[in-house]
Structure 1
Amino acid sequence: MFNFFKKKQNEVDIPQVQPMANWEENSYMHVLSDNVEVENIDGAKERIESIEGLKLIEFNVRDDNSGNLTLEYNGDEYGVGFYFDDFVLESLYSLQNQKIHDEDFAQIQEKTKSFVIYMNFNKNYFDSYHLQLKLIMAFFPDTLAVVDESAEKLLSGRWVKLAAESSVTPSAEALFTVQAVFDDKTHRVWLHTHGICRTGFSELELLDISRDNVNDIYYLLNTMANRVLYQNEAIEDYIFLGEFFDGEPIVATTLHWNEGITRYPSDILGGPNDRVDSHNTNSKVILLFASEEDANNAKYTKPSEIEEKLIENPLYYYTNEQTDHMKFMARDRFDILKKFIQENPENKALIKVGLPTDGEDGEPDYENLEHIWFELKEFTEDGFRAILTQEPYRVSSIKAGDEGEYTINDVTDWIIYTEEMSIEPNTAYLL
């Protein structure tokens, strides 16, 4: 059933591809809260039934407070399981953490139990993920934090609450994390994702990256993951991800990990020795094609071979779906921006506005927008007044320093600058 490869160089055996673990195939989340500590799920059934777009079909609870439910949500049927489990604080240290309020983390350290809720995502994995967060808040409105086991990430309960209450699903980047494993001797890095498998696609990896360049080359992996998830389409032959600084296209492809690692020396981090007990299921290694001819002849270029080009400000493309999602989230949470600035006028806010570009006939082209940052001046009855902070490229009717009045329907992103940090729509829970 599984392919078996032998590394010809040094005759190294390549481990076999293994079946996915439960937490890869399904979405597993562990909830922490005061009510979890005492296993109190009173009122959960009624709160679940009140979720908009949800029809509860079956709700079963056993004597040990484990159980399952069947439901319909936005036209799709789901089966969900749950149980209580012991919680060990040390397990947090291998996770990526969202920013957590200090007082919340102090409470996390005291928790000894978790509520595990698991489910299988359907083809609309954005809806599925959103549903899981809604169910968590329905079971435990006092949710303090959530360990997303599938993505190996610690989520703030405040973020979970904000996301669950939002009319917009969380972004693609909420579905996965990118982990970096370092080799202190060679200063090389192995980047790989967690969390994508539950969507039906493969995890993604970059091998043999220089530690000095990892922060820049990370965007190659992140862009490909976002492209797959937003377009709901696996990478088949190759895909155009953007442009290098010299205008040449960035053409990427993937190979299953057990074939991809044969393109590298056998002793690298992420090589055969690191695949015996883990990272040996559904994952693909990212490679590049230097030209169309290379693509047609399956001549692969390792990202590590062209790191200098990958750190020279490459331009990565956003999909329309990704841009739209950012826009809808910014609008959905615009009232958070407004309320905070009205209560804290000493803070600065920038708002990105989509303006129609110059059309060929001299008229505004409303089909093609240029997204430009404005500095907020004041709120109006119907929107806000703001000053353009930069020269537009393709909008001749306005220049840097010009002031205009806009509505929430013009907003495509925003950011607040406080003394401690900058806040954007996805991190609005920190305010």
Structure 2
Amino acid sequence: MEVQTETYRAAMNGTLERHFSDMIAVIPTRITVEQLKHRLEIIATKVDELKIVYGDETSLIVELHTGETVIPYELHIDEANDPEEYKMYNRQDSTIVDRNFEDVAFGTEIFTRTLFVGDVLDCFFQQLQFLWNLAPDLLFVIDSSAAMKVISRSYIEYHVENELLPDIPDLYVIHSVYEDDKDDEPTQYWFHTHGLLRAGVTEIELIIPNRISSYYGIGDLFQTFANNAVENGQVPMNEPIVIAHSQQGSIHTVAVPWEKGLSYIGHKTSMDQLSSIEDEEVKLQPIDAQNTFLGGMDARDEYHQSPSVLLFKFNTSEEYIESFFKEHEEATGLMFYKTNSETDRMAYNAKNTFGYFSNIFHIEQSNEDFRFLAKFGVSYEEGKSEHMWFEMQNITEDFIQGILINEPYFIEDMSEGNSYHLDFDNLTEWVIYAGDAVIKPNNLYMFIGE
């Protein structure tokens, strides 16, 4: 097995080389390279310059010039796979159904490869935009860099046409592996990402060697750590990081290379027992043969031995780490922290789509199956705001009023259950609960037109 010490050191220092971002647009017809070039001619009208710097019978390398930015793409065409193969891939959302794959029998895969330079989400959006302009007839997109995740046509159209930035979780997929008991009830879990290496950070893992009461908080834990790593451009390891707040106080996590972290699963490990990554090689550590869990070496093929960190919960009073989510531990009422960039991005998307929210509110506000919540940032000291949820009472062009649904952590002159006038400029998020459906700015496309 390859020793990856230098890779982890680079990830800690923010110098980890980004992997390629590979995506495949699947279209319903067969095309040649000459027809692909014709499609590129259309894209050339939308950028400052498009250069074809290499070409053969099935491949092209092109450069897109926009202002001072040059984006290279490697393109390759091939016949589409059997529809049954696509049906086995992980699907990003419920808009992708089996019939979406039926039209690929005589189709083409247009493979695209690029390297993210600069802001990761901007680059991800630009690759989606390039695919949309190159293949407006696409049926779906395969995100090869995220373990062949299927991205829906409606997702791409919604984000590109509305110029909405994707979320960082859109960069990756979380694979979950679990072991059942005789009653088919999961008894232990291994969650791990694919897709983050193209962002210049490691993948992320969580091993839970016991039953859990719910999945609450797991996705948020991954998202919070990934957001901080991607936006800061480095992966903190062997040090406590604040990720959430509860009524009991702050919640910290410690990330450890998986090679070392496997030996910490299922028991408490003092922080002073964590070996230095800067001074020592990152190698597999001895593991008690009696301590069995998912995600160990016997479960890892070469694909699952890439650079990745295991997340542990840090006990601040006794300074030890242990696995997250104990069997009888209720992980509820957690407020996960968000970076300023994430809050700004969410606010931008929430404001750009608030018209949809307002329209649905005015149509369904008397419908008991609907609930309309919006999050607003309220300042409590210079440069700091607490972001809180309000249930909407009234929305007009100049006026928003809502009832605070949680007791604030930091703001003493506001109370749960009271009604407040709210400033649209402070809007950061919204959500509509419609029966069993949960509608947000990032999944609104799934409900438009229903």
Q: TM-score, length-normalised on structure 2?
A: 0.75
Partner Cα distance (1:251, 1:87) in 2: 45
Residue of 366, 372, 375 corresponding to 1:350 = 372
Residues 305 and 316 of structure 1: is their aligned pair in 2 closer, same or farther, counting only changes over 3 Å?
closer
Residue of 87, 98, 101 corresponding to 1:108 = 101
Partner Cα distance (1:387, 1:312) in 2: 24
Residue type of the partner of 1:206? L
Q: Is residue 379 from structure 1 mapped to residue 409 from structure 2 by the alignment? A: no
Partner Cα distance (1:314, 1:420) in 2: 22
Residues 421 and 313 of structure 1: is their aligned pair in 2 closer, same or farther, counting only changes over 3 Å?
closer
Please state how far the C-alpha of 1:158 moved relative to its aligned partner: 0.8
Partner Cα distance (1:386, 1:366) in 2: 24
Partner Cα distance (1:391, 1:246) in 2: 16
- Name the structure 2 match of 1:155: 151
Residues 346 and 37 of structure 1: is their aligned pair in 2 closer, same or farther, counting only changes over 3 Å?
farther
The answer (yes or no) to whether the contact 1:176–1:196 under 8 Å persists in 2 is: yes
Q: What residue ranges of structure 1 are gaps of 5+ in the alignment?
A: 6-16, 18-23, 295-299, 360-364
- Name the structure 2 match of 1:281: 306
1:242-257 paired onto structure 2 within 5 Å = 242-243=244-245, 245-247=247-249, 249-257=250-258
Report Cα offsets for 1:278-327 as digits up to 9, x if no partner: 30122122234323774xxxxx5231585555735444322222222211
The answer (yes or no) to whether the contact 2:168–2:223 under 8 Å persists in 1 is: no
Residue type of the partner of 2:311? I
Please state how far the C-alpha of 1:92 moved relative to its aligned partner: 3.7
Residue of 79, 84, 88 corresponding to 2:77 = 84
Q: Single out whichever of 392-401 and 205-214 deviates more from structure 2.
A: 392-401
Partner Cα distance (1:414, 1:194) in 2: 28
Report Cα offsets for 1:40-84 as digits up to 9, x if no partner: 547532443355xx5434135746453121124574433211222
Please state how far the C-alpha of 1:206 moved relative to its aligned partner: 1.4
Partner Cα distance (1:63, 1:346) in 2: 62
Residues 216 and 336 of structure 1: is their aligned pair in 2 closer, same or farther, counting only changes over 3 Å?
closer
Q: Is residue 56 from structure 1 mapped to residue 73 from structure 2 by the alignment? A: no
Percent sequence identity over matched residues? 19
Q: CA RMSD in A?
A: 3.5
Tell me the secondary structure at the aligned position of residue 188 of structure 1. Answer: strand
Residue of 21, 39, 48 corresponding to 1:27 = 21
Please state how far the C-alpha of 1:208 moved relative to its aligned partner: 3.7
Please state how far the C-alpha of 1:4 moved relative to its aligned partner: 9.0
1:175-190 paired onto structure 2 within 5 Å = 175-185=171-181, 187-190=187-190
The answer (yes or no) to whether the contact 1:415–1:422 under 8 Å persists in 2 is: yes
Partner Cα distance (1:207, 1:164) in 2: 36
Residue type of the partner of 1:425? P
- Name the structure 2 match of 1:14: none
Q: Single out whichever of 195-204 and 216-225 deviates more from structure 2.
A: 216-225
Tell me the secondary structure at the aligned position of residue 310 of structure 2. Answer: strand
Q: Is residue 413 from structure 1 mapped to residue 429 from structure 2 by the alignment? A: yes
Please state how far the C-alpha of 1:207 moved relative to its aligned partner: 1.8
Give the length in aligned residue pairs.
396
Partner Cα distance (1:356, 1:291) in 2: 29
Q: What residue ranges of structure 2 are gaps of 5+ in the alignment?
A: 9-17, 266-287
Q: Single out whichever of 278-287 and 336-345 deviates more from structure 2.
A: 336-345
Partner Cα distance (1:164, 1:309) in 2: 41
The answer (yes or no) to whether the contact 2:4–2:307 under 8 Å persists in 1 is: no
- Name the structure 1 match of 2:285: none
Tell me the secondary structure at the aligned position of residue 374 of structure 2. Answer: strand
Please state how far the C-alpha of 1:170 moved relative to its aligned partner: 0.8
The answer (yes or no) to whether the contact 2:27–2:135 under 8 Å persists in 1 is: yes
The answer (yes or no) to whether the contact 1:351–1:376 under 8 Å persists in 2 is: no
Residue type of the partner of 1:136? L
- Name the structure 2 match of 1:241: 243
Report Cα offsets for 1:376-407 as digits up to 9, x if no partner: 53433xx4544335366337479846474754
The answer (yes or no) to whether the contact 1:245–1:312 under 8 Å persists in 2 is: no
Report Cα offsets for 1:203-257 as digits up to 9, x if no partner: 011124434346135243332222212333311442222345532x433222222
Partner Cα distance (2:48, 2:317) in 1: 50
Residue type of the partner of 1:67? L
Please state how far the C-alpha of 1:178 moved relative to its aligned partner: 1.2
Residues 150 and 189 of structure 1: is their aligned pair in 2 closer, same or farther, counting only changes over 3 Å?
same
The answer (yes or no) to whether the contact 1:352–1:411 under 8 Å persists in 2 is: yes
Residues 335 and 41 of structure 1: is their aligned pair in 2 closer, same or farther, counting only changes over 3 Å?
farther
Tell me the secondary structure at the aligned position of residue 198 of structure 1. Answer: helix
Q: Is residue 165 from structure 1 mapped to residue 158 from structure 2 by the alignment? A: no
Please state how far the C-alpha of 1:374 moved relative to its aligned partner: 3.5
- Name the structure 2 match of 1:67: 60
Residue type of the partner of 1:354? F
Tell me the secondary structure at the aligned position of residue 101 of structure 1. Answer: coil
Q: Single out whichever of 330-339 and 128-137 deviates more from structure 2.
A: 330-339
Report Cα offsets for 1:331-386 as digits up to 9, x if no partner: 12223334555677776462525254466xxxxx7853543324153433xx4544
Partner Cα distance (2:415, 2:293) in 1: 53
The answer (yes or no) to whether the contact 2:388–2:406 under 8 Å persists in 1 is: no
Q: Single out whichever of 71-80 and 306-315 deviates more from structure 2.
A: 306-315
Q: Is residue 302 from structure 1 mapped to residue 322 from structure 2 by the alignment? A: yes
The answer (yes or no) to whether the contact 1:189–1:214 under 8 Å persists in 2 is: no
The answer (yes or no) to whether the contact 1:48–1:56 under 8 Å persists in 2 is: no
Residues 133 and 251 of structure 1: is their aligned pair in 2 closer, same or farther, counting only changes over 3 Å?
same
Residues 341 and 42 of structure 1: is their aligned pair in 2 closer, same or farther, counting only changes over 3 Å?
farther
Residues 326 and 314 of structure 1: is their aligned pair in 2 closer, same or farther, counting only changes over 3 Å?
same
Residues 259 and 355 of structure 1: is their aligned pair in 2 closer, same or farther, counting only changes over 3 Å?
closer
Residues 157 and 413 of structure 1: is their aligned pair in 2 closer, same or farther, counting only changes over 3 Å?
same
Partner Cα distance (2:99, 2:141) in 1: 15
- Name the structure 2 match of 1:319: 339
Q: Single out whichever of 237-246 and 147-156 deviates more from structure 2.
A: 237-246
Partner Cα distance (2:433, 2:318) in 1: 48
Residue type of the partner of 1:183? E
1:206-217 paired onto structure 2 within 5 Å = 206-213=206-213, 215-216=215-216
Partner Cα distance (1:214, 1:220) in 2: 14
